[in-house]
């Protein structure tokens, strides 16, 4: 369910002083590394640095306990923005920090001689993640033509002697340097970089004011490494950097245009609209908003640039669909897909690559699971986003149409996105609801939806092999309760949309989903051949009820096209899984669903259940914003300083957005009237707290009351939330 017109009215009638403060902050605050002066240091308002710190500590303990904890694996693949055209070359490089070796595995390009390089990006004007002539580059291996899969293990001797800080692994044609041309590339994730930096924290040879690349070395085994211990290790190397990275990442996400067409990450992922776009939100935007650059920039307008497509304005306005080129930029008139904007909540819980999984993507991102270029990580996603959505012209030339992010900016953006939303899964075994209809909906959800969305998340699905003999199949299926993670399936939602006339005179190109190979997916209509295997990635449903679209093509947004799905977009997604489009799909065949097994599920009750867990999440998030506001006021009073009005204005905007989401999600289904009233009361309290004309004591009291109201709402809904 997107925001209603009433909800947009609430958000656009904030006191003018509050809006002016916020606009002034976003317009004037330059994206830069935060100052060390605590009186001037920016504050992370949207992000939560402490949860990234805890996630990193969990990552570090896991690494220290694993036998292969000394191995850093980097995926290699096609990287939009760094390569002139798509190639079929992919693979991995596994750096063994104990053995001081690199194991290289390449697939594709078997008829070509290739070279694999380690690249350190040297800082300087105009420098970015893209290899430049002034960067440090060391050839790791020369790979001769031959087998489809080529494997080499090489020594890191030259890299160690040079003390190179690895920022990028690049694959080039034989005889070419990475600053000339690359055919595959990859980079380490933020946590890998923090981990190696921590292990090297005693090395004072480099500055500690920034997180450098992977400083590889033949390291002695730390205490407990690979021995099952979850302790040990010095957390001083990377830990203190995380709050600074999250704060910097927040500034970049909402303010940095990368010298492009005026868009920022927040243009398509606005925090006040759950980091997604829908028709109501788009309708309320000013016509000059950078989201609409294709409508007022001739170089990006299809009717004025020779038919090259940057956006599809009609479908953006009607359905919130964004034009992207996941399979390359070589045919902008025909080779594109249209996808809804996915929210960015709980990223750390939805990135896991299935085991066994295709490499890359090293992490699963975007609706198809491979929405990130190169190695397919969250860190790399920003590169693809800038090249795809930020250019001034469709030539997409670096340093002319945009600049690519720096290493520091990529670190910061990854840290910020990992800080958003909840940081743990629910445990449905301890979740109960005070409304019996919702409790029944939970039971129906677990029966029919739990094999893909265990505990409402994305990290469980059935195994195609290795099933234990002691397991019991789920009722009505041949599925065994065998948890893996974050799978991809063709559930028929793409094929259903393709058969519908959703826009007069425009045929949406068939979206091939995961992967780049043609021929897997049949052509529908007269469109071009799709690229991919037709599958799309499982996503969490905890945040779903107020972040619809529920599918990559925003199918529930078309009530006229899909009358049998109903007008409620939340229930429409549930009903889709009872339709013939799903029961006849490849996924249903894989699942072994018996005829009609999904029809016994009560879609209306499941929708109530989805709304309830979402409403509880809204309350938790609003409570968090109120807690931050209370802390900011208290810190300012204790220090004898003026209130940080810009940050408080932003917190008020975000808290009211979450409170209004919760109110709408529950009231539209007429459930939990006491919780609905508390949501409304908390909105009123935040409105008073945001008014700078009130005394500080009153404002603080209203923030505290709003925090208390929000904190009590989950208990009205149920337990374990």
pLDDT band at 163 (very low <50, low <70, confident <90, very high): confident
pLDDT band at 401 (very low <50, low <70, confident <90, very high): very high
Alpha helices in 13-48 (DSSP H): 16-28
Q: How many other CB atoms are there within 10 angstroms of residue 368's CB atom?
A: 25
- Of 420-429, 548-557, 673-682, where does mean pLDDT reach its minimum? 548-557
What's the whole-number mean pLDDT along residues 31-36? Answer: 36
pLDDT of residue 475: 52
pLDDT at 22 over 60: no
**Gap between the Cα atoms of 421 and 412, Å rounded:** 17
pLDDT band at 354 (very low <50, low <70, confident <90, very high): confident
pLDDT of residue 206: 37
pLDDT at 355 over 60: yes
Tens-place pLDDT, residues 209-255? 345 566 555 444 444 444 443 333 333 344 448 999 999 999 999 99
Q: What is the DSSP letter of 531?
A: B
pLDDT of residue 220: 44
Mention every residue, 6+ apart, whose C-beta is less than 8 A from residue 339: 321, 322, 324, 366, 367, 511, 552, 553
pLDDT of residue 459: 78
pLDDT of residue 701: 98
Beta strands of 174-320 (E only): which ranges?
A: 184-186, 214-215
What's the whole-number mean pLDDT along residues 391-404? Answer: 94
- Torsion region of 633: left, alpha or beta (phi above 0 gives left; psi -120 to 50 gives alpha): alpha
CB 345 within 8 A of CB 661: no
pLDDT at 18 over 50: no
Q: Which of 26, 526, 490, 8 minimizes the C-alpha distance to 256?
A: 26
pLDDT of residue 561: 57
pLDDT of residue 159: 86
pLDDT at 292 over 70: yes
- Of 34-43, 51-60, 567-576, where does mean pLDDT reach its minimum? 34-43
What's the whole-number mean pLDDT along residues 284-297? Answer: 97
CB 438 within 8 A of CB 609: yes
- Of 120-134, 474-488, 691-705, where does mean pLDDT reach its minimum? 474-488
pLDDT of residue 289: 98
pLDDT band at 500 (very low <50, low <70, confident <90, very high): low
pLDDT at 548 over 50: yes
pLDDT of residue 111: 87
pLDDT at 627 over 80: yes
More confident residue, 408 or 200: 408
Tens-place pLDDT, residues 634-655? 999 999 999 999 999 999 999 9
pLDDT at 331 over 60: yes
- Tokens at 435, concatenated: 């409304």
More confident residue, 139 or 5: 139
pLDDT of residue 557: 63
More confident residue, 215 or 2: 215
**Gap between the Cα atoms of 601 and 432, Å rounded:** 19
Task: Provide the terminal-to-terminal Cα distance of the chain, rounded to the nearest Å.
Answer: 21
pLDDT at 56 over 60: yes
**Gap between the Cα atoms of 55 and 414, Å rounded:** 13
**Gap between the Cα atoms of 281 and 56, Å rounded:** 35
pLDDT of residue 495: 86
Residue found under tokens 């779903």: 544
DSSP string for residues in 627-643: HHHHHHHHHHHHHT---
**Gap between the Cα atoms of 268 and 259, Å rounded:** 17
SS3 (DSSP) at 120: strand
CA distances from 129 to 126, 169, 245 (A): 10, 11, 17
More confident residue, 242 or 24: 242
pLDDT at 602 over 90: yes
Residue found under tokens 């055209």: 85
- pTM for the model stands at 0.88
pLDDT at 710 over 70: yes
pLDDT of residue 484: 59
**Gap between the Cα atoms of 459 and 452, Å rounded:** 7
Q: Annotate 424-450 with b (16+ C-beta within 10 A) or e (fewer).
A: ebbebeebebbbeebbbbbebbbbbbb
CB 455 within 8 A of CB 446: no
Q: Hey, which residues does 606 pair with through a beta bridge?
A: none
Highest mean pLDDT among 577-581, 599-603, 710-714: 710-714
More confident residue, 528 or 625: 625
Q: Annotate 478-513 with b (16+ C-beta within 10 A) or e (fewer).
A: ebbbbebbbbbbbbbbbbbbbeeebbeeeebbbbbb
pLDDT of residue 237: 40
- Tokens at 482, concatenated: 């065998």
pLDDT of residue 461: 62
- Strand-strand pairing, 114-120 and 168-173: antiparallel
pLDDT at 720 over 60: yes
What's the whole-number mean pLDDT along residues 605-621? Answer: 97
Which domains are present in the chain?
5-27+612-719 (1.20.120.660), 72-197+213-221 (2.60.40), 242-418 (no CATH), 439-605 (no CATH)
pLDDT band at 31 (very low <50, low <70, confident <90, very high): very low
Residue found under tokens 């091939």: 512
Q: What does pLDDT average to over the chain?
A: 83
CB 59 within 8 A of CB 191: yes
- Of 32-46, 136-150, 312-326, 673-687, where does mean pLDDT reach its minimum? 32-46
pLDDT band at 660 (very low <50, low <70, confident <90, very high): very high
């Amino acid at each position: 369910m997107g925001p209603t017109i009433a909800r947009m009215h609430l958000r656009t009638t904030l006191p003018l002083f509050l809006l002016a403060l916020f606009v002034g902050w976003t317009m004037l605050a330059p994206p830069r590394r935060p100052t060390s002066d605590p009186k001037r240091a920016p504050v992370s308002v949207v992000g939560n640095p402490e949860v990234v710190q805890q996630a990193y500590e969990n990552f570090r303990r896991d690494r220290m306990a694993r036998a292969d904890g000394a191995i850093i694996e980097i995926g290699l693949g096609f990287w939009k923005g760094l390569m002139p055209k798509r190639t079929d070359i992919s693979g991995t490089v596994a750096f063994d920090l104990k053995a001081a070796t690199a194991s290289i595995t390449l697939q594709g390009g078997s008829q070509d001689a290739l070279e694999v390089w380690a690249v350190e990006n040297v800082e300087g004007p105009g420098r970015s993640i893209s290899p430049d002539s002034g960067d440090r580059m060391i050839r790791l291996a020369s790979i001769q033509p031959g087998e489809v899969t080529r494997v080499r293990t090489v020594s890191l001797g030259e890299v160690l002697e040079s003390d190179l800080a690895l920022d990028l692994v690049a694959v080039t044609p034989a005889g070419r340097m990475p600053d000339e041309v690359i055919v595959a590339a990859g980079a380490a994730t933020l946590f890998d970089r923090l981990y190696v930096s921590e292990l090297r924290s005693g090395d004072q040879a480099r500055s500690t004011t920034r997180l450098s690349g992977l400083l590889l070395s033949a390291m002695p085994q730390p205490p407990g490494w690979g021995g099952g211990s979850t302790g040990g290790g010095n957390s001083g190397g990377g830990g203190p950097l995380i709050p600074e990275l999250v704060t910097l990442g927040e500034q970049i996400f909402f303010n940095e245009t990368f010298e492009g067409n005026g868009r920022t990450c927040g243009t398509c992922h606005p925090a006040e609209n759950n980091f997604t776009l829908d028709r109501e939100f788009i309708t309320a935007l000013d016509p000059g908003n950078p989201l609409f650059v294709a409508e007022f920039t001739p170089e990006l307008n299809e009717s004025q640039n020779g038919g090259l497509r940057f956006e599809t304005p009609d479908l953006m306005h009607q359905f919130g669909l964004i034009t992207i080129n996941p399979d390359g930029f070589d045919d902008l008139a025909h080779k594109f897909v249209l996808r809804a904007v996915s929210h960015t909540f709980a990223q750390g819980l939805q990135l896991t690559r299935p085991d066994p999984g295709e490499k890359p993507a090293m992490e699963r991102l975007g609706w198809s699971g491979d929405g990130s270029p190169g190695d397919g990580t969250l860190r790399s996603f920003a590169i693809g986003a800038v090249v795809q959505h930020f250019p001034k012209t469709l030539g997409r030339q670096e340093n002319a149409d945009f600049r690519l992010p720096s290493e520091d900016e990529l670190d910061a953006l990854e840290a910020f996105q990992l800080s958003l939303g909840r940081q743990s899964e629910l445990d449905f075994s301890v979740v109960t609801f005070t409304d019996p209809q919702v409790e029944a909906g939970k039971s129906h959800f677990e029966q029919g939806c739990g094999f893909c969305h265990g505990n409402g998340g994305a990290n469980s699905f059935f195994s195609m092999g290795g099933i234990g003999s002691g397991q019991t199949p789920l009722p009505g299926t041949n599925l065994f309760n065998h948890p893996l993670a974050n799978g991809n399936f063709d559930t028929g939602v793409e094929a259903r949309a393709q058969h519908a006339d959703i826009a007069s005179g425009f045929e949406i190109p068939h979206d091939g989903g995961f992967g780049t190979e043609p021929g897997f997916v049949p052509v529908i209509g007269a469109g071009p051949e799709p690229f991919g295997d037709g599958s799309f990635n499982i996503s969490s449903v905890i945040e779903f009820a107020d972040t619809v679209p529920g599918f990559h093509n925003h199918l529930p947004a078309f009530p006229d096209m899909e009358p049998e799905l109903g007008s409620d977009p939340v229930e429409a997604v549930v009903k889709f899984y009872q339709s013939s489009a799903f029961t006849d799909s490849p996924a249903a065949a894989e699942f072994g669903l018996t005829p009609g097994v999904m029809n016994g599920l009560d879609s209306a009750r499941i929708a109530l259940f989805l709304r309830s867990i979402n409403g509880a999440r809204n309350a938790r998030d609003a409570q968090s914003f109120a807690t931050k506001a209370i802390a900011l006021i208290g810190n300012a009073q204790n220090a004898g300083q003026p209130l940080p009005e810009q940050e408080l204005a932003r917190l008020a905007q975000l808290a009211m957005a979450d409170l209004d989401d919760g109110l709408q999600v529950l009231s539209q289904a007429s459930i939990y009237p006491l919780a609905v009233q508390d949501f409304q009361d908390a909105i009123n309290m935040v409105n008073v707290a945001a008014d700078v004309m009130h005394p500080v004591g009153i404002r603080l009291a209203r923030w505290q009351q709003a925090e208390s109201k929000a904190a009590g709402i989950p208990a009205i809904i149920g337990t374990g939330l």
